Amino acid sequence: MRRYDLDWIRVLVFALLILYHVGMFFVPWDWHIKYETPTGWLRYPMLFINQWRLPILFVVSGMGTYYAFNKRDGKQFILERSKRLLVPLLAGILLVVPPQVYLERIVEQQFHGTYFDFWPVHAFTGIYPSGNFSWHHLWFLPYLFTFSLLLCPLFIYLRNNPGNKLRAWLSKNLLSPAGFLWLLLPLYLAEALLEPFFPVTHALAGDWFTLTSNGFLFLYGFMLISVKGVFWPTVQKYRRRFLYCGILGFTIWISTILSFEDTIYLHFTEAFLKVFNLGAWILAIFGYSSRYLNKPGFSLAYANEAVYPFYILHQTITIFLGYLVLQWEFAFIPAFLFMILGTFWLTWLIYATLIRPWKWIRPLFGLKGRGGKKPGIITCNKRHR
């Protein structure tokens, strides 16, 4: 039976990505191009979203992997992952990311000339940030492929041995909310012991904290859905408790980092608060979505297909609109609305007219090679896909 709530989570969290990347233009954090007057208060909603936005996507991806193994052997699974992840990654590196780097170089006055002076002659020289070759926001794809490749033997074993001890342990311990604390232990150790020495780079090679933390989250997704008869009733039953824990955890975490100087004791305390907070919000989201979103719909069918191309395209459009904001000197509120609405509508326009209808373009954006009925017209099959 299909879990429509997982589709909704995937769609809604990727929709938040547009808000988040627009926000990155305005907050006082490093990003590709920046608004001239940073907006300090925007950091707090950004921190709130950032704590669970990517982790829950890795968990959902692990859950999707469980279902993928129901219809494929290991070889078929890796081939399918290669088509779905590596082909869009290559297309993105060659076509989608270079305009972002070009605009950054123009704003920083590190390059002078037209885009076609930049691409392809200069677009792939050196590794970003000192050079121009990068996968930027598409880093999620090589990480997913790496996890799929490395964990494939374990997934095959777990699938072929449904009575394994790990599944039995999960079935027993996840009957209560306290059982989920055991799953936070590896995440805490990674946060406490790896993060100080291996800060996040999204470069894959040497990015040991990100690989370890997100790798466990991906594995957890597969494991949790393997005991779905226990997992879903538990998160739905205790969803309010998880929500209260998330609110409390985020409040204490923000208060702690604002009130105390950075020491080794604060580091270990903050590491616990971060993973506790992360776990509580992910479980609360699963609980509420299981209760209210586990149902199909016309809009879900369309959005679930569109979300992957939206993810690939959106940041290039966001940075382009940010460049226009810098040229036109918009105030904050008009600039924020212009970038959000512009990113959504321009991304949708490109998807609906240049990607969705054309079977030979669709695979470049992770879609199956069937075309839509008409360019720009929202259509879907009766069967939810």
Whether 40 and 59 share a structural domain = no
The mean pLDDT value for 76-97 works out to 97
Which residues fall within 8 angstroms of residue 229, CB to CB, at 6 or more apart?
A: 171
The mean pLDDT value for 209-229 works out to 97
Whether 45 and 63 share a structural domain = no
Give the number of C-alpha atoms closer than 13 A to the C-alpha of residue 190, restricted to the C-beta side. Answer: 20
Whether 44 and 59 share a structural domain = no
- Measure the CA–CA gap between 112 and 120, rounded to whole angstroms: 15
Radius of gyration of the chain (CA): 21
Domain end (from 295, 316, 351): 295
Whether 205 and 328 share a structural domain = no
**Does residue 32 form part of some domain?**
yes
- Measure the CA–CA gap between 326 and 70, rounded to whole angstroms: 50
- Measure the CA–CA gap between 366 and 234, rounded to whole angstroms: 34
Whether 57 and 189 share a structural domain = yes
Are 15 and 305 a contacting pair, CB within 8 Å? Answer: no
Q: What is the DSSP string of 45-110?
A: HHHHHHTTHHHHHHHHHHHHHHHHHTS--HHHHHHHHIIIIIHHHHHIIIIISHHHHHHHHHHTTS
Are 20 and 52 a contacting pair, CB within 8 Å? Answer: no
**Does residue 349 form part of some domain?**
yes
pLDDT at residue 234 above 70?
yes
The mean pLDDT value for 194-206 works out to 96
Whether 39 and 7 share a structural domain = yes
The DSSP 8-state label assigned to residue 42 in this structure reads: G
The residues with which 133 forms a beta bridge, in sequence order, are: 127
Are 103 and 319 a contacting pair, CB within 8 Å? Answer: yes
Whether 341 and 379 share a structural domain = yes
113 φ/ψ sector (left φ>0, alpha ψ -120 to 50, else beta): left
Whether 363 and 226 share a structural domain = no
The DSSP 8-state label assigned to residue 380 in this structure reads: -
**Does residue 324 form part of some domain?**
yes
Give tens-digit pLDDT for 338-374. 999 999 999 999 999 999 999 999 999 999 987 554 4
The DSSP 8-state label assigned to residue 351 in this structure reads: I
Q: What CA dihedral angle connects 324, 50, 29 and 195, to 10 degrees? A: -140
**Does residue 113 form part of some domain?**
no
pLDDT at 13: 97
Give tens-digit pLDDT for 273-299. 999 999 999 999 999 999 999 999 889
The mean pLDDT value for 310-339 works out to 97
Domain end (from 295, 327, 356): 295
- Band of residue 2 on the pLDDT scale cut at 50, 70, 90: confident
Whether 311 and 358 share a structural domain = yes
For residue 47, give the nearest of 33, 27, 32, 61 by alpha carbon: 27
Whether 234 and 282 share a structural domain = yes
Domain end (from 264, 295, 326): 295
pLDDT at 194: 98
**Does residue 268 form part of some domain?**
yes
pLDDT at 371: 56
**In a 3-state reduction of DSSP, which class is residue 127?**
strand
Q: How far from the centroid of its chain's Cα atoms is residue 84's Cα?
A: 15
Whether 60 and 205 share a structural domain = yes
**Does residue 200 form part of some domain?**
yes
- Band of residue 377 on the pLDDT scale cut at 50, 70, 90: very low
Q: What is the DSSP string of 180-216?
A: GHHHHHHHHHIIIIITTTS-----STT-HHHHHHHHH
pLDDT at 298: 81
How many other C-beta atoms are found inside a 10 Å radius of the C-beta of residue 371?
A: 15
* Domain extent for 252: 51-97+135-295
- Measure the CA–CA gap between 104 and 122, rounded to whole angstroms: 13
The interaxial angle of helices 208-226 and 53-69, nearest 10 deg, is 50
Which residues fall within 8 angstroms of residue 331, CB to CB, at 6 or more apart?
A: none
**Does residue 63 form part of some domain?**
yes
Provide the strand spans (E) within 263-341: none
Q: Which residue has the tokens 């704003």?
A: 107
Give the number of C-alpha atoms closer than 13 A to the C-alpha of residue 162, restricted to the C-beta side. Answer: 6
Q: What percent of the chain has pLDDT over 70?
A: 96
- Measure the CA–CA gap between 13 and 3, rounded to whole angstroms: 16
**N residues, the chain:** 385
**Does residue 337 form part of some domain?**
yes
How many other C-beta atoms are found inside a 10 Å radius of the C-beta of residue 101?
A: 25
- The enclosing H or E element of 302 equals helix 298-328
**How many structural domains compose the chain?**
2
Whether 56 and 45 share a structural domain = no
